[in-house]
């Protein structure tokens, strides 16, 4: 049991939330006895709907928004005991929502906040896969992590840089009722801070606004800690496998935002730990 007698001060509560993205009152009853506290709280940072399926999974597969990843590659890669992690306006949305190999797999969707605005990448009014998310609610309702803050249901007028992603005629702007419920569900959704404890050692650039880890690296670190908790909880020798597909961080990739510390991430991923496979894709 996590001892909280000395943690009731509101300043601590706010600091804890800023480092983990989890409301303090959500985890005070989370049993960390006998476990590494950091890894236990990483697991607690995940949406409730994902926690139990993750305990039954054999692999966590993080899939980048890399256009060179084709359907054939996914069909060859995916296994029935995988859990999938998708990012923002994720690629091959119809495949993940409806393909026999993917539709029933547990999924975690991560939507990154755009700077400190009301918007998140991958959700209206930006480019999105709301239609595929609606299909997912009928199969295996996904877990959702919002970067830094809950989804604010912004209007197009709230977009600080609309020219970055101009609205087209086929853009979904009205969220269907079932997806609306999903985005408001405490069971399905959590907020993940870009300053979470799992990236406490990440060297940000203080002179660049919103400097932070890439989405892929943030989730990679989260699941490195999470799998340690699962390994301890299940008393097994082999940790849960992690596969990272299409996360390219070298000069063959066209665009690098200067607010990410690419040198640090390259160094960290140069020699991945046991049972972590990184599949580059160009």
Q: Is residue 99 part of a domain?
A: yes
Give a yes or no: residue 19 inside a domain. no
Q: How many CB atoms lie within 10 A of CB 148?
A: 19
The reply to whether 228 falls in a domain is yes
Domain assignment present for 67:
yes
Structural domain total, the chain = 1
Residue 44 in any domain: the answer is: yes
Integer angstrom CA distances of residue 76 from 1, 70, 102, 153, 180: 43, 10, 12, 37, 33
Q: Is residue 139 part of a domain?
A: yes
pLDDT of the residue at 10: 33
User: Crossing angle of helices 37-44/215-234, nearest 10°?
Assistant: 110
Q: Which two tokens stand for residue 201?
A: 């050692």
The per-residue pLDDT for 33 is 54
Examine residue 73 and state whether it is found in any structural domain, yes or no: yes
Cβ proximity of 68 and 282 under 8 Å: yes
Q: What is the CATH number of the domain that holds 77?
A: 3.90.1480
CA-wise closest residue to 218 among 93, 51, 45 = 45
Boundaries of domain holding 156: 36-279
On whether residue 225 sits in a domain, the answer given is: yes
pLDDT per residue of the chain (282 residues) written in tens, 0 to 9 = 233 222 323 333 443 444 445 554 444 444 555 568 889 999 999 999 999 999 999 999 999 998 889 999 999 999 999 999 999 999 999 999 999 999 999 999 999 999 999 999 999 999 999 999 999 999 899 999 999 999 999 999 999 999 999 999 999 999 999 999 999 999 999 999 999 999 999 999 999 988 999 999 999 999 999 999 999 999 998 899 999 999 876 655 556 788 989 889 989 988 899 899 999 876
* CB-side neighbour CA atoms (13 Å) of 66: 22
Q: Residue 207 burial by CB count (10 A; 0-12/13-18/19+): exposed, middle or buried?
A: exposed
Is the full-model pTM beyond 0.85?
A: yes
In the chain the first and final C-alpha atoms are separated, in Å, by 46
């Amino acid at each position: 049991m996590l001892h909280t007698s000395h943690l009731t001060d509101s300043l601590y509560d706010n600091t804890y939330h800023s480092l983990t993205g989890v409301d303090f009152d959500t985890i005070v009853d989370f049993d960390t006895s006998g476990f590494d506290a950091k890894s236990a709280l990483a697991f607690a940072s995940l949406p409730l709907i994902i926690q139990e399926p993750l305990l039954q999974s054999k692999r966590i597969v993080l899939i980048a928004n890399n256009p060179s990843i084709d359907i054939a590659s996914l069909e060859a890669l995916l296994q029935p005991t995988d859990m999938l992690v998708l990012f923002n306006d994720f690629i091959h949305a119809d495949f993940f929502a409806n393909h026999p190999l993917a539709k029933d797999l547990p999924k975690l969707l991560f939507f990154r906040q755009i700077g400190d605005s009301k918007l998140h990448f991958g959700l209206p009014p930006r480019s999105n896969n709301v239609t595929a998310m609606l299909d997912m609610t009928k199969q295996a309702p996904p877990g959702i992590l919002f970067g830094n803050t809950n989804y604010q249901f912004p209007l197009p007028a709230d977009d600080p840089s609309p020219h970055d992603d101009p609205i087209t005629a086929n853009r979904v702007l009205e969220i269907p009722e079932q997806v609306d419920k999903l985005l408001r569900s405490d069971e399905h959704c959590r907020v993940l801070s870009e300053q979470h404890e799992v990236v406490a050692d990440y060297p940000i650039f203080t002179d660049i606004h919103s400097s932070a880890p890439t989405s892929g690296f943030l989730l990679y670190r989260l699941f490195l800690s999470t799998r340690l908790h699962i390994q301890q909880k299940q008393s097994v020798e082999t940790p849960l496998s992690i596969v990272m597909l299409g996360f390219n961080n070298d000069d063959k990739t066209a665009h690098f935002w200067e607010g990410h510390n690419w040198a640090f991430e390259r160094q960290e991923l140069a020699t991945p730990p046991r049972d972590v496979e990184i599949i580059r894709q160009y």
